[in-house]
Amino acid sequence: MNLRLGPQNPMNKTMVMILAFEVIVFGLGFPGMIMITKSPLGISLAATIVASLLAIGAAATLRRPIGYPLGWLTQLAGILLGLLTPWMYAMGGIFAAIWVVSFLMGRKIETSQTAV
């Protein structure tokens, strides 16, 4: 199964915006990791930076072959941040759901354009 959208798909802009908002949410999750759940500072910082860099890298390369695999990996990273603060399970899950729905809408656009 091809887990990418074509470079001309209009949903690519939406996918980039999802990734951009994830960077913001990952950054906002960092204080919760260290202040509320008392996760170790170094681990929390490293996990936040890795997840954010994945999202930035995916957004920057979304029209290239590596972009979508990074985007899918970002969704997994967002959910795994829940290991450091439980509310990130919810936030990561919500973003992953938005990502999947947007991807499926992009697929539908591609199939309707090829049918015409």
3-state helix, strand, coil in the chain (%, to 5): 80, 0, 20
pLDDT of res. 116: 64
Tokens for 63, please give them. 């029209």
Q: What pTM was computed for the model?
A: 0.92
Q: How confident is the model at residue 92 (pLDDT cuts 50, 70, 90)?
A: very high
Which of 63, 67, 71 minimizes the C-alpha distance to 100? Answer: 71
Percent of the chain with pLDDT over 90: 91
